[in-house]
Amino acid sequence: MIYLTKRLGLSAAVILLVVAVLFSLLHLIPGDPATIALGPRATPEAIARYAAKMHLDEPVWTQFLIYVGNALTGDLGVDVFSDRPVATIIGERLGFTLALVCAGLGWAVLLGVPLGCLAAVRPNTALDRVTGLLSVGTIAVPSFLVSIWALLIFAVGLGWLPAIGAGEPGDLGDQLRHLVLPAFAIGLSWVGYLARMVRASMLEVMGETYIRSARAFGLRPRRVVFGYALRVAILPTVTLIGMGFGGLISSTVFAEIIFARPGLGKLIFDAVMARNFPIVQGGVLVATALYIVVVLLSDLIVAWLDPRVRETL
C-alpha cells in the first residue's frame, strides 16, 4: 500500500504542477490573458465569455483553482474556431496517436528485446557485434529524419506505401497500410535502444552469483537465460521504456506532421500555427498526462514483477 500511495501521490503532484505550469505560462506573458488564450482572431464575445468563465476578474489564485477544477472534470475549454469542446476534439484524434505509439513501440519491443538477449548470451560474437553496431546506428539517426527518408524512399520513390493521412475510416487494411511507415519511423531507434538496454542489463545479471547457482544446479541454459536472467533483467528495461516514452511522444509528433496523420501531435502543431490556444493547452495537458500515466504504469509493472517491492504495493 505504501508504495502505491506514494507513487500515485507523486504522479498526482506532477500532474498538478504541469497544470500549474500551463496556467502560469498564460499569465506570465504580458497582456490580456483572454486575448492571449483565444488568439488575435477571437471575437469580443468569445473573449467576454472566456473572461467570465475563467473568472478573470478574480484573484489569480482563485482563477488557478477554477482552472484546475475544470481540467479535473474534463473541461479543457472550447475551440476558438469551431466552438466545440476541446476534450471532444482531442478525443477524436487520440486514437490515431495511440495506435501509432502502440504499433511503433510494439514492433520495436518484439525485435529489440530478443536481439538484446541473443547478443548478451553470446557476447563478442558476430551476432553481438552486428547488434551493437545496429543499435548505435539506429539510435544515432533522429526519428524525424527516418520519417522523412522513409517517406522519400517508400512513398515518393518506390510508391509502395501511402505517404499521407491515416487511411479511409472503416477500411482497416487501408488504415494499417498508412500505419506502416510512421510506425517504422518511430520504432526504429527503439529497436537499437532496447537491444542495447536489454543486452547491458542481461550481461550484468548473467554475472550475478544466483545465475551461477542456477547453472550449478544444472538447469538448462534456456531456462537460466529466460526463466532466471531475463526475469530480473526485464525490470530495469520496463522502467526505461516508461522513462523513454516522452521521447516516443516527441517522435510521434514529428511522424504525424510529416505523414499528415490526424493525431494529437498534428492537432497541437496545427493549433500552434493557428495560435488556437485552448487546443494547445488541452493537447499539451493530455500528452503530458499520457506520459505520466505510462511512467506510473511501468513503475507499477516493475513493482508487481519484483516480489521485494510487491510486498509494499
User: Least distance from C-beta 183 to other proteins, angstroms?
Assistant: 18
The enclosing H or E element of 184 equals helix 172-206
64 contact partners, CB below 8 Å, separation of at least 6: 20, 23
199 contact partners, CB below 8 Å, separation of at least 6: 116, 117, 119, 120, 128, 131, 132, 135
Between CA 257 and CA 274 the distance in angstroms is 15
Between CA 304 and CA 313 the distance in angstroms is 8
Joined together, the cell numbers standing for residue 200 give 547491458
User: Least distance from C-beta 226 to other proteins, angstroms?
Assistant: 12
**SS3 at position 241:** helix
- The interface with other proteins within residues 47-76 (CB under 8 A) comprises none
- The interface with other proteins within residues 134-153 (CB under 8 A) comprises 136-137, 139-142, 144-145, 148-149, 151-152
Between CA 255 and CA 271 the distance in angstroms is 17
**Contact code string over 76-115 relative to other proteins, x by CB under 8 A:** ----------------------------------------
Joined together, the cell numbers standing for residue 131 give 547488434
Cβ atoms of 251 and 174 closer than 8 Å: no
Question: Which residue type occupies 66?
Answer: I
Joined together, the cell numbers standing for residue 222 give 534456456
- The interface with other proteins within residues 8-47 (CB under 8 A) comprises 10, 13-15, 17-18, 21-22, 25-26, 29, 36
297 belongs to the binding site for other proteins (CB under 8 A):
no
Residue with Cβ nearer other proteins (31 or 169): 31
Residue with Cβ nearer other proteins (183 or 302): 302
158 belongs to the binding site for other proteins (CB under 8 A):
no
Between CA 77 and CA 85 the distance in angstroms is 6
Choose the binding region for other proteins from 45-53, 63-71, 85-93, 268-276 (rule: CB under 8 A). 268-276
Between CA 186 and CA 247 the distance in angstroms is 10
Residue with Cβ nearer other proteins (63 or 201): 201
Please identify which residue in 100, 101, 113, 268 interacts with other proteins, judged by CB under 8 A: 268
User: Least distance from C-beta 100 to other proteins, angstroms?
Assistant: 14
User: Least distance from C-beta 308 to other proteins, angstroms?
Assistant: 5
Choose the binding region for other proteins from 57-65, 70-78, 169-177, 194-202 (rule: CB under 8 A). 194-202
Residue with Cβ nearer other proteins (123 or 262): 123
Joined together, the cell numbers standing for residue 271 give 493549433
Number of residues that bind other proteins (CB under 8 A): 89
Please identify which residue in 210, 226, 260, 304 interacts with other proteins, judged by CB under 8 A: 210
Given the C-alpha cell 486575448, which residue does it identify?
35
